[in-house]
């Protein structure tokens, strides 16, 4: 027999709120809205977007003492994963751990303490795009929301409270070359070989992967059209995470300076980025430029784009999700 907590968790998991499933994301936000309706909270939401969000507070304020934060979106899974299974006393299902159980706990906590809510200054914040880009968060800050403390039980394995998290750069590197027949590689310029050279440099920089270090993982590679054709296009998606702004600065200076040795002579320009004080410039003669641009978005998201204007073409699109 399910407890009340298990019941609401099962209901949440049954909604396939994958980040790119806008209809399901709207459905789960409405589920939460209906569930908290008897609590008479002050509710603010934005449902005029692909990934809606909802905030509910016990007081009419944008500055609660504590904001209980969770995301309702999940990564893709097979259909059967959206049904909770109790196996040997453990619950299995998409989002059970990350992080619909936290949502179920929040909702259960508020309902059990309904008579005390008016004496508290606390809130609930639910988003549906954490697994992709957290694009809903900057507008929330821009609207003036400033809790004194945000509690986010997303991950961890030892019940210790973590005070910070690694920022994420999602990097896409695109290499372009010149096609030729596979039997005559000297007539072409293999984009896959160029890409592999870059990835080797990156992996050499981060040989050890552990919780306390900056980490790098190459998680997606595409390129080429046929086994007997030299590839004129190749792309890789890289996950880079770090606690350290210094590591990030080194990443964008030393690593890209090493790229120059492979991709002829480039001009590396580093545009100003808010809250990261260093500016860097590496200028070499001829053969075009390799430009890095930074845009700061409300203390939460950095967007970076690299473009190259000459024939040895390498392009990277990057995002850093800075811990809140």
pLDDT tens digits for range 220-252: 999 999 999 999 999 888 888 888 777 777 776
Q: Output the pLDDT for position 212.
A: 80
Buried b (16+ CB within 10 A) or exposed e, 257-278: eebbeebebbbbbbeebeebee
User: Could you please report the per-residue DSSP string of 121-141?
Assistant: -EEEEEES-TTTT-TTHHHHH
Cα–Cα distance measured from residue 17 to residue 2, given in angstroms and rounded to the nearest whole number: 22
DSSP state of 262: H
Q: Output the pLDDT for position 183.
A: 96
Output the six-digit token pair for 120. Answer: 């508290």
Most trustworthy range by pLDDT among 36-40, 209-213, 309-313: 36-40
What is the model's pTM?
Answer: 0.64
Cα–Cα distance measured from residue 205 to residue 192, given in angstroms and rounded to the nearest whole number: 20
Mean pLDDT for the chain overall: 78
Output the six-digit token pair for 310. Answer: 């000459």
Q: Range with the lowest mean pLDDT among 31-40, 195-204, 261-270, 279-288?
A: 279-288
Q: Where is 32: in which H helix or E strand? A: helix 22-36
Among the listed residues 144, 167, 164, the one whose alpha carbon sits nearest the alpha carbon of residue 298: 144
Output the six-digit token pair for 8. Answer: 């609401």
Q: Output the pLDDT for position 254.
A: 61
Check if the beta carbon of residue 47 is closer than 8 Å to that of residue 36: no
Check if the beta carbon of residue 103 is closer than 8 Å to that of residue 70: yes
Mean pLDDT of 275-300: 28
Q: Output the pLDDT for position 142.
A: 93
Contacts of 22-29 spanning 24+ positions with Cβ under 8 A:
22/50, 22/51, 25/50, 25/51, 25/52, 25/72, 25/73, 25/128, 25/129, 26/52, 28/72, 28/128, 29/53, 29/54, 29/72, 29/126, 29/128
Q: Range with the lowest mean pLDDT among 6-10, 37-41, 155-159, 316-320?
A: 316-320
29 phi-psi bin (left φ>0, alpha ψ -120 to 50, beta other): alpha
Q: Output the pLDDT for position 162.
A: 74
β-strands 149-151, 66-71: how paired? parallel
Strand partners, 236: 173, 221
Check if the beta carbon of residue 18 is closer than 8 Å to that of residue 74: yes
Cα–Cα distance measured from residue 301 to residue 279, given in angstroms and rounded to the nearest whole number: 19
In order of their start, the domains of the chain are 4-151 (3.40.630.10), 167-321 (3.30.70.360)
- 178-195: pLDDT as tens digits: 999 999 999 998 989 988
Q: Output the pLDDT for position 216.
A: 87
Check if the beta carbon of residue 99 is closer than 8 Å to that of residue 91: no
Q: Where is 218: in which H helix or E strand? A: strand 215-223
First-last CA distance in the chain: 39
Q: Which residue has the higher pLDDT, 321 or 208?
A: 208
């Amino acid at each position: 027999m399910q407890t009340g907590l298990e019941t609401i968790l099962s209901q949440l998991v049954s909604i396939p709120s994958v980040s790119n499933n806008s209809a399901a994301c709207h459905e789960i936000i409405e589920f939460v809205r209906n569930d908290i309706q008897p609590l008479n909270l002050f509710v603010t939401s934005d449902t005029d977007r692909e990934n809606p969000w909802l905030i509910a507070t016990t007081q009419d304020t944008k500055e609660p003492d504590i904001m209980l934060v969770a995301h309702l979106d999940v990564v893709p899974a097979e259909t059967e994963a959206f049904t909770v299974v109790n196996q040997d006393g453990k619950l299995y299902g998409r989002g059970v751990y990350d992080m619909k159980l936290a949502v179920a706990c929040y909702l259960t906590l508020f309902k059990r303490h309904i008579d005390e809510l008016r004496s508290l200054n606390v809130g609930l914040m639910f988003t549906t795009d954490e697994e992709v880009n957290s694009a809903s968060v900057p507008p929330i800050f821009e609207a003036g929301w400033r809790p004194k403390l945000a509690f986010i039980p997303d991950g961890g394995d030892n019940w210790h409270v973590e005070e910070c998290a690694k920022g994420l750069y999602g990097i896409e590197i695109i290499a372009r070359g010149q096609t030729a027949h596979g039997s005559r590689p000297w007539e072409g310029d293999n984009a896959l070989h160029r890409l592999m050279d870059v990835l080797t440099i990156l992996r050499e920089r981060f040989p050890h992967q552990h919780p306390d270090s900056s980490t790098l993982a190459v998680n997606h590679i595409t390129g080429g059209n046929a086994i007997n054709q030299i590839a004129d296009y190749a792309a890789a998606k890289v996950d880079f995470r770090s606690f350290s702004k210094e590591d990030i600065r080194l990443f964008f200076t030393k690593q890209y300076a090493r790229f120059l040795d492979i991709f002829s002579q480039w001009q590396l320009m580093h545009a100003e980025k808010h809250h990261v004080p260093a500016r860097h410039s590496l200028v070499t003669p001829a053969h075009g430029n390799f430009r890095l641009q930074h845009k700061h978005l409300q203390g939460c998201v950095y967007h970076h784009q690299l473009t190259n204007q000459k024939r040895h073409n390498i392009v990277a699109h990057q995002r850093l999700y800075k811990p809140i």
